[in-house]
Amino acid sequence: MKIHVEEGAGSDGKAAAVELAAGEAALVLHPKQIIAFQGRSGSREDRLLNVAGVYRKKRWIESRLTGPARFVLGVPAGFSFRAMELPEDSSLLFDIRYVLLYSEGMKLQSRFQKIKQAVVTQDWIRMKFSGGGTLGLLSCGPLCELTIDPSEPVYVDIGCLVAYPEEAKLQLCVYGNPLASQRMNYHWEITGSGKVLLQPSRPRFGLADPLQGDSLFKRILREALPFGGVIIK
């Protein structure tokens, strides 16, 4: 899989051009972001996820695209796109909301958060991608990597943490003197080995989340009916 990102100017959006060779396949978790496609019509297959898939991926539908084909993903203004090559033994746990696409063949495993963490983040699971492959990530600004240490903690705003190693230890905290702690968001105190992925600002999701804001009946109709996403608002 080859990915090239075209940067916009100023506050404009961006585009990520993806090329799949014969035998390659990619899964796109935000199908509406596919703004152009070149290949056989049958090379794109949109699939309605089962209940477990909806809960894990926070989507109703995902697109499977097979090569040889090329397609372009629209990246909304205010967001950045980054393609990462994950090794087979990657231990990073991701917030699935930031995953735009991934290579078919990668194994997704659910990891439940501790109750204290879930209460704050409003999310009970993180996703682990193993088996090696390409992961395409959306973030609020460019992603940065920060190395963590087993003994010297790193403090990270809970809204800016995109991924962290499974073996890392996370604790909710604030830090600094009393005035500093009163004027900051909750942070994760992180210790361990490896790297964490951060985004520079808290998300204001420009990508519509189909799991929020609608009744279950309306969501089912929107996905089941032809052009339901256009007709049913």
Instruction: Name which residue leads in pLDDT, 13 or 148.
Output: 148
| Edge-first strand listing for the sheet containing 61-66 | 44-48, 61-66, 25-28, 99-103, 133-139, 80-86
Dihedrals phi, psi of 199, to nearest 5 degrees: -110, 150
pLDDT score for 210:
39
Q: Are 28 and 43 in contact (CB under 8 A)?
A: no
Query: Where do we find the tokens 């005035």?
Result: 179
Tens-place pLDDT, residues 63-107:
999 989 999 998 888 888 999 999 988 999 998 888 999 999 898
Our measurement of the distance from residue 43's CA atom to the centroid of its chain's CA atoms, rounded to an integer in Å, reads 23
Query: Taking the CB of residue 60, how many other CB atoms lie within 10 A of it?
Result: 18
Q: Which residues contact 232 (CB under 8 A, 6 or more apart)?
A: 218, 221, 222, 225
Which residue intervals of 18-130 are DSSP H helices?
51-57, 115-121
Amino acid 113 reads Q
Amino acid 179 reads L
Q: State pTM to two decimals.
A: 0.75
Tens-place pLDDT, residues 97-115:
889 999 998 988 888 777 7
Q: Which residues contact 213 (CB under 8 A, 6 or more apart)?
A: none
How far apart are alpha carbons 36 and 227 in whole angstroms?
Answer: 18
pLDDT score for 193:
92
Tell me the CA end-to-end span of the chain in Å, nearest whole number: 35
Domains and CATH numbers, the chain: 2-224 (3.60.160.10)
Q: Are 69 and 38 in contact (CB under 8 A)?
A: yes
